[in-house]
Structure 1
Amino acid sequence: MMDTNIKNNNFICQIINKDFNKNKDLSFYTRFPPEPNGYLHIGHAKSICLNFELAHLYNGQCNLRFDDTNPLKENVKYIHSIKNDINWLGYKWHGDIRYSSEYFEKLYQYAKELIRKGLAYVDELTKEQIREYRGTLNTPGKNSPYRNRTIEENIELFEKMKNGKFSEGKACLRAKIDMNSSFIIMRDPVLYRIIFAEHHQTQKKWCIYPMYDFAHCLSDSIEGITHSLCTLEFQDNKCLYNWILRNTSITHFPQQYEFSRLNLEFSVLSKRKLKILIDNNIIQGWNDPRIPTLSGLRRKGYTPSSIKHFCKEIGVTKQNTLIEFSMLEHCIRKELNQTSIRTMAVLEPIKVFLYNLDENHEEKFIVPNHPNNPEMGTHEIIFTNTIYIERSDFQEKYEKKYKRLKLGNKIRLRYAYIIKAEKIEKDEHNNIINIICYCDLNTLGKKPKNNKNPSVIHWISEKNTIPAEFRLYNQLFNIKNPEKEKNFLSYINLESLIKKNGFIEKEMGKKIQNKINTSNSKLCFQFERIGYFCIDKIDSKKNYLVFNRTVSLRDTWNTKKLEQKNITNN
C-alpha cells in the first residue's frame, strides 16, 4: 500500500477493509464518472482524490468514464478540460478513457430485457403530465394510462422510438416499479428519452438516449467496478441503482456508497449555476479566478498539491458541512510561503523625490529571493533619487496610529535607507503627485541613533520598473451560502475583481516575460507586504504583464479550527 493524500481511517476505508477481510482476493476497482457538461470544480477534486487515492491505497484501478448520455448539454471541450484537470492534479486513469456511449447497444438490450420481463413500458404522457402523475412527498403517484400495454406492444413502440418514428417528447421508456413508493425516484422513473441531436462520440447513430440513472449503474457493472462512490444527493438513487442491477441479467454487482459533497463558503458549485454566471457575463468563463473550478483556481495560482492538501484536511464523512473558504486559502498560503520568490511591486504608485540625492545617483543592492531559503538565490534592485511607493503608505493628515510615511516622520525603505517626508506637491485637483523626502545615507543596514526602528515600506526605483496590471480577487458573493438562495444572482459582490495599474521590478519582469510561453514554468511570487500573486498566462503579453492575486498575506484560518470543528471521519 502507498502513502496517499486520503485519511485511511475514514468510513469508506473501513468498509473496504471489511470487504478485504471477507475476500482476500478482492480486486478493488473504482471510477471517476463526470458528465461532460461543464468544467470540473473543487467538489470534483474531492471525488477525484478519493477515487484515485483509494485505488493506489488498495493496489486497485480507477477508470475515467464520461457518463455522456445527454448530447444537448455535452461538448468535446468539456472532455478535454476534464482530462487536463485530472492530469494536472497528477493522476493517471487505468487504461483507455471510457464512455457510457460505448455501451449504448448493451444498454438498449438491457432496456428491452426489462420490457420482456414486464418491468418497463413506453409512455406517451408529456413531461408535465409525468411530473403531475408522480405525486409529491405527501401524496402517492397514480399510474399512467399507458402502463398496462402488452409486452409485444411495448417492444414494438420502443423499436419505433429507436428508429425515429416518434418526435421528441412524444414518448419515453419508463420502468414499471411502484407509483406508491416512499421514494419518488422509484415511481416509474424514465429510462430512455428521445433526443434528435448529434452525439460527440456516436454522431447520429442514436436518437434515443438512456437516462443517467439507467446508464450509470449498468456502466459500473460492465466495467467491473467494485465500489461505486458518489455524493449524498444520490442516496435515494441507490434504490433505483440496485433495482436495475437486480432486474437485468448482469453478472457483476457493484456496491454504491455515499459521502458528503463539498460545500464551500461564498461559492456556488452547481455547474448549472456556474453556467448562469457565465451566460449573464458576471464572470468571464469557466476559468475565471473568482469561481472554484479547477481551471479557475489554477489560473488564480493554486497548485495541485494545495488542492490535494485541502481535500485531505476536510476529510471524507457523511455529514454535510459548509467549509470555510479561509481553509482553502490557508492550504495554498502555507505552500506559497515556502516556495514563492519575494520581490517588490507597487500597485497604486505615488512618486517620491529624494532631494538630497544627485539625479545620477544609482546604487545596486543584492536582495534574497526568499528570506529563509538561500538556495532560491538573489536578484538585483536599483536605488535612485526618484522612487515609487504605495499611495496607501503615505498619509497627509496626522494620525497617531498611522505608522507609515507622513509629513515630518521617518520610514525605512525595504533593503535600503531611512527617509523623512518634508513636503508634498499637488496637481490642480488637489491630488498629491510628489512627496519630497530627505534620505539619510548613514542608515543603510543600521539602526537609528535613537534606537527606535521606524516601520518598513516597499518601493521601486523609477528607473527599475516594468508596468503591470494587478487583479485583486475577492469573494464573488456577499453571503456565505449562495447555493441555498433561489435568487443567488442578487448577492453578487460588485467588488469581486479590482484592477490596479502599477509596476514590478525590471529584472524580475524580464525573467517573467521570457517564461510566459513556457507551459511548465511556475510563476508565483510574494509581492512583499501585498500578497501572493501569479502571472496570468492567458492575458499577459510580452510587453504587458498581468498578475492575479492568489491569496493575501494574512492567514485568517487557524489550524486549531480543525479540532474545534470536530471534523470526524465517521
Structure 2
Amino acid sequence: MAPAALSPEMEELAAFFQRAGLSEQRAKETARSKTAPAARSLFEAARLDTSPLEDKQGALVLQVAKDGQALSDEARLYIVEAVRDGRLSKSDQVTAAIKFMGATVPPVDQAAFDEACGVGFTITPDELDRRVHAYLTTHDAEVSKTGWGGFSKTSGLMRQDDSLKWVNPLELKASAEKAFEEKFGKKEDAKKAQAEKAKKESKAPKASTSTASLPAAESPDDMFKQGWLSRLHRPGGNEQPIAERMKEHLAWTGGKVFTRFPPEPNGFLHIGHSKAIAVNFGYAKFHKGHCYLRYDDTNPEAEEQIYFDKILENVRWLGYEPYQITHSSDHFQELYDLACLLIKKGLAYTSDDSAEEIANQRGGKDHGPRYESKDRKKPIEQSLAEFADMKAGKYKPGEMVLRMKQDMQSSNPTMWDIIAYRVLGKPHHRTGTQWCIYPTYDFTHCLCDSFENITHSLCTVEFIAARTAYEWLCDALEVYKPRQSEYGRLTLEGAITSKRKLLKLVKEGHVNGWDDPRLHTLVALKRRGVPPAAIITFVSSLGVSTQNSLVQLSRFEQTVRSHLEMTTPRLNLILRPIRVTLENLPADFFLEVEKPLHPKDPSMGTARVPFTREVFIDADDFRTEASKDFFRLAPGATVGLLNVPKPISYVSHETDPATGAVTHIICRYDEDVKEGFKPKGWIHWVASSAAHNSPVKVKETRLFSRLFKSDNPGALGDAYLDDLNPESLKVVEGALIEPAVWDVVRSSLKRANEVVELRKAEAAKNGTEAPPSVDGLEVVRFQANRVAYFCLDADSKLVEDGAKDGGELVLNLIASLKEDKGKGR
C-alpha cells in the first residue's frame, strides 16, 4: 500500500520545503512528519525559502528543528548560519552544536563553539598516531583481551573519545590498523591463529550460554569499561554548594554507585527502554553498587496496574533485580512540604493563568517577547494560602497551578517559570483520594533522585536542557544535588515506540495486542522468543555515547541470530509438507537415525528419529521441471536427505486435478550408490511412523516480517497507518516437525526451572525474597534446519505431565537464517 496522497495543505508545505532546497522526496517526508510545524518555523526564520540551501544542508537544518526545540530562536538560527557557511557539515557536528548551545548563555563565544563542534579540525599524521597509541594504552586491558578480533569495536569506540571524535574515519581506521599491527602482528596471521584455535575448541563442549560467559569482545560489561560511561565521575565527584550535603550523602552511600531506572507506568516498555535498563542497572552492577526501580507515578490519569506489573517483569526478564522498588508517590508529603518551602523562599508562586496565557508569556507560537506572569510578585502568604486551597480541593483542574520562580530571560525554556504542581482531581492507585494535586516531572524527578542519594542520574539527551532546572531546584532547596548525565537514545529502524501510536495500532486491531511479535515492545519481543541476553549484547555492541542512534533492523536481527546460532538445538520442520514414498523399500522398513542436536556443540546431545518408507519434504524443495540453478528434488535429480546414509532419486509425482498442486512424489532409496558419492543438494525431512508418533503436527506456524514498509514510520506523523505492511503476518497451518521436539520442550523447560531454583537458593543464602519466574513457553527455542529460528508461542497447550509427549504446538518465527549466496541451491 503506497503512502496516502498529500493533502492540499501538505502539498503547499512540501513545495515550501523544496523552495528551501530540500529534495522532492525529503520535502514530502518532512511535510508528513510531526516536526513539520517546527521545521517550517525555523526555515522561515532563516529565510531559506528565498535563500535556499543544498539538500544535505537542509537535512542538517531539519535536525536542528527536531532535536533543538528546547533552544531559543537565536540559538537555533546561530546553528543554521553555521550550517549555511559550511562550518557544520555533518550530523554529529550538529548534535554537538545543539548540546553546546543548550549549555551556553549568550553571547556565544564562536571560538568555543567551533572547537566544541569540530569546526576546522586538523591533525597531523604523527599527532593522530600519538593519540591512537595513547587511547590503546589507556584501554590496554580490554584491547589486549580481544586483539584483532575486537578491532571493529575498538575503532568504533575510538570515534567516541573526545580526542579522536573529529578525525576523518578512514584516517583513524588506517592509524588504528597500524597501531594494532605493531601490537598484535599482521591481521592475516592473527586470523589464521584464531581459526586454528577455533578448530581445536570446536571439539570440546561449549561453555554456558549465559551473558556472564560471553567472550570478552562481546561482553555487556564492555560498554562500562570504554567510551562515555567509563568517563563518568566517581561517587562524591559531583560538587555541592553546601559541603555538608556531600558528607551526608557519602555517609549514607558508603561511596557506592547508586542509579535508578524511573519509567512512567503509563504504557509498555519498548526496545529503546532496554538501553536505559542496561545502562542504569548495568552501570550500578559493574561498579558493585545498586539500582532502584522507581515508578514515576505522578499522573494518575494515565497509570494502570498492568503497566507496573509488566515493567517489573521486563526488568527481571532482561536479567536484573532492583535494589528497591520505589515510587515517586512514596514522597508526596515530603514533596508538598518542599513546595511550601520554595514558596516561603520567594521562589514559587500560585497562578490562575490559563494554559494559553502561560504559553504567551513564553513567547507563544510566534516566539515573540517573553514576559512575567501577573502573579509573579504575589505576596508569599497569598501563594501559601492558595497552595493549601489547591491541596484541599477548592480549585478545579486548570484553575490554579504552582509555578517555580526561575529566570524568564534565560535562553533555556526549562527556566521559564515551569509548573511544579497542578490540580488533577483524580484518585491515585496508591494514595487513593488523599491528594487531588500532583507534582510535575520537573519538580519531582530531581528531588526523588536526591531523596534516594542517586550518584549518577543517567538519562537520554532530550533532557540536556532540563539539567539546568534540575540543578536550580536542588540548589534552591539546599538539598543534595545528584549529577545528571545524558546519553543518546536508541531507536530501531522500522519500529514505532510512541505510546499513542502503539495504542492506536492495538485498539484498531492492526496488531493482536501489546505483545504482538511484530511490535518492538519488550513484551512482544519476549513472546517472539528473542533471548534477553541477545538484547543486552545488542545494546552493549552499540556502545554508549551522547549521540542518538537509529539502528538498522538487520543489525539487531543479526545479533539475535548470532546468539541463537550457538544456543539452540536443531530440528527438522516441514512448513508445507509433500508426501514422498520410497517405492523400493518394504512397507515395514525402519531405520533409526541418530543425529546431533547441534553439529558444533556435542554437549547438546543427540536425537534418535525414525526413517521409514514414507517421509515428508517441503514443497519448496521440489520442482516439477529440472533447471540448472535448482539442486534439490526434481525430475532426473538425486538429492541427499540430511543425516540419512543414502540419497534418493526422483521417479514420478502426482498432482491434484483441481488445483494442479503436487500431492505425492515417488522416489527410490539408492542403497547401491557408490561409496563417497556426494549429491549436489541436501534437503530436510520428517518420517511417517505411527509407532514413533512421527511426525508431530503443528497447529500454527506464525511467520513475521516488518510491520511497516518504510525505515522510519514515526516520521510520517498520523499517516503511519498508511505505511503498514499487509504481508507482515503469514500463518501456516499443518506444518510437521520431528518427534525430537518433545525432548527439546522438556529440556528447555527444565533448564528454565533450574534457573528459578538457583535464584531461590541464592535468595535464601542472602536472606532475601527470590524473584518469581518471568519465563514462559518462549524459552523453548530451536533452529529449524534450512528454514529459520522458532520458539513456542504462549498459545501452545502442553500436556500437564511434562514427562509425556503431547499437546498442541503453536510456533513463532524468531529470526530467519543468515542469507547466503547459495540460497536456492
**2: distance between equivalents of 1:517 and 1:374?**
20
Gap change, CA 1:320 and 1:115, over 3 Å in 2: same
Opposite residue 232 of structure 2, the aligned amino acid is I
Could you tell me which residue of structure 2 aligns to residue 418 of structure 1? 647
Q: 1:14 aligns with which of 231, 234, 243?
A: 231
Superposed CA deviations along residues 362-392 of structure 1, whole A, max 9, x for unmatched, are 3221111111222211112222232221111
Aligned counterpart, 1:499: 731
1:346, 1:502 within 8 Å by CA — same for their partners in 2?
no
Give the alignment partner of residue 794 of structure 2, picking from 528, 537, 561.
537
Aligned to 1:222: 451
Answer whether contact 2:656 2:663 (CA < 8 A) is retained. Answer: no
Query: Cα 1:445–1:263, aligned 2, differ >3 Å: closer, same or farther?
Result: farther
Question: Contact 1:33/1:65 (CA < 8 Å) preserved in 2?
Answer: yes
Provide the C-alpha distance between the structure 1 equivalents of 2:377 and 2:279, rounded to a whole number of angstroms: 44
Q: Which residue, 740, 743, 750 being the options, matches 1:508?
A: 740
Give the match's secondary structure for 1:490: helix
Question: Partner residue of 1:523?
Answer: 780
Q: Does the alignment pair 1:371 with 2:599?
A: yes
Contact 2:295 2:327 in 1 (8 A): yes
Change (3 A) 1:21 1:152: closer
Tell me if the contact between 2:701 and 2:735 (Cα under 8 Å) persists in the aligned partners.
no
Tell me the amino acid that sits aligned with residue 459 of structure 1. Answer: W
Following the alignment from structure 1 to structure 2, what is the Cα–Cα distance between the partners of residues 293 and 443? Answer: 55
* Alignment of structure 1 residues 45-194 onto 2, 5 Å: 45-94=274-323, 96-135=324-363, 136=365, 138-194=367-423
* Structure 1 position 385 matched with structure 2 position 613: yes
Q: Deviation per CA, 1:287-342, whole angstroms, max 9, x where unpaired?
A: 22222222222221222221111111001101122112222222221121112111
Which of 679, 682, 687 aligns to 1:453? It is 679
What SS is found at the alignment partner of 1:56?
Answer: helix
Q: How far apart in 1 are the matches of 2:549 and 2:532?
A: 23
Q: Distance in 1 between matches of 2:674 and 2:322?
A: 55
Tell me, in whole angstroms, the C-alpha distance in 1 between the residues paired with 2:238 and 2:398. 49
CA distance in structure 1 between the aligned counterparts of 2:590 and 2:356, rounded to whole angstroms: 78
> Within 5 Å, which residues of 2 pair with 1:170-569?
170-250=399-479, 252-416=480-644, 417-442=646-671, 446-448=675-677, 453-463=679-689, 464-468=694-698, 469-486=700-717, 487-511=719-743, 520=753, 522-542=779-799, 543-554=807-818
C-alpha separation between the residues in 2 aligned to 1:221 and 1:162?
A: 24
- Alpha-carbon distance between aligned partners in 1 of 2:374 and 2:346, rounded to the nearest angstrom: 16
3-state DSSP class of the match of 1:550? Answer: strand
Larger helix share, 1 or 2: 2
| Residue in 2 that maps onto 1:567 | none
- 1:389 and 1:368 mapped to 2: Cα distance? 20
Provide the rounded CA distance (Å) in 1 between the counterparts of 2:275 and 2:674. 49
Q: Deviations over 1:114-168 (max 9, x none)?
A: 2222222222233344334432584333333443332222212111111111122
CA gap of 1:215–1:446, structure 2 versus 1, over 3 A, is farther
Residues 143 and 541 of structure 1: CA distance in aligned 2, closer, same or farther (over 3 Å): farther
For 2:225, give the aligned amino acid.
Answer: N
Q: Deviation of residue 512 (structure 1)?
A: 5.6
Give me the whole-angstrom Cα distance separating, in 1, the residues matched to 2:819 and 2:620: 21
Amino acid corresponding to residue 161 of structure 1 in structure 2:
M
* CA distance in structure 1 between the partners assigned to 2:593 and 2:557 by the alignment: 33
* Secondary structure of the structure 2 residue equivalent to 1:507: coil
**Across the two proteins, how many residue pairs are aligned to each other?**
551
Q: Compare 31-40 and 142-151 and name the one that shifted more.
A: 142-151
Alpha-carbon distance in structure 2 between the residues aligned to 1:501 and 1:444 = 37
The 3-state SS of whatever aligns with 2:739 is helix
Does the aligned pair in 2 maintain the 1:185–1:237 contact within 8 Å?
A: yes
Matched residue type, 2:228: F
Distance 2:673 2:352 in 1: 86
In 1, the alpha carbon distance for the partners of 2:233 and 2:287 equals 9
Q: Distance in 2 between matches of 1:237 and 1:364?
A: 68
Structure 1 residue ranges without an equivalent (≥5): 557-570
Deviation at 1:50, TM superposition (A): 1.4
Per-residue deviation, residues 34-63 of structure 1 (Å, max 9, x unmatched): 111122222222122212222123232221
Q: 399-408 or 228-237: which moved more?
A: 399-408
Supply the distance in 1 between the matched residues of 2:310 and 2:617 (Cα, whole angstroms): 41
Give the alignment's TM-score, normalised by structure 1. Answer: 0.90
Partners of 2:749 and 2:780 within 8 A in 1: no
**TM-aligned CA deviation for residue 434 of structure 1:** 2.5
- Is 1:424–1:432's contact at 8 Å kept on the other side of the alignment? no
User: Greater strand share, 1 or 2?
Assistant: 1
Contact 1:107 1:215 in 2 (8 A): yes
Quick check: 1:11–1:316 contact (8 Å CA) kept in 2? yes
Partner of 2:233: helix, strand, or coil? helix
Q: TM-score, normalised by structure 2?
A: 0.63
The one-letter code matched in structure 2 to 1:68 is D
In 2, the alpha carbon distance for the partners of 1:532 and 1:488 equals 29
* Per-residue deviation, residues 219-260 of structure 1 (Å, max 9, x unmatched): 00111112111000111111211121121132x110100000
Shift in Å at residue 515 of structure 1?
7.3
Q: 1:512 to 1:132 in 2, by over 3 A?
A: farther
CA–CA separation in structure 2 for the residues paired with 1:182 and 1:335: 48
Report how far residue 485 of structure 1 moved.
2.3
Give, as a single letter, the amino acid of the residue that structure 2 aligns with 1:56. K
The root-mean-square deviation of aligned C-alpha atoms, in Å, is 2.7
Q: Secondary structure at the match of 2:477?
A: coil
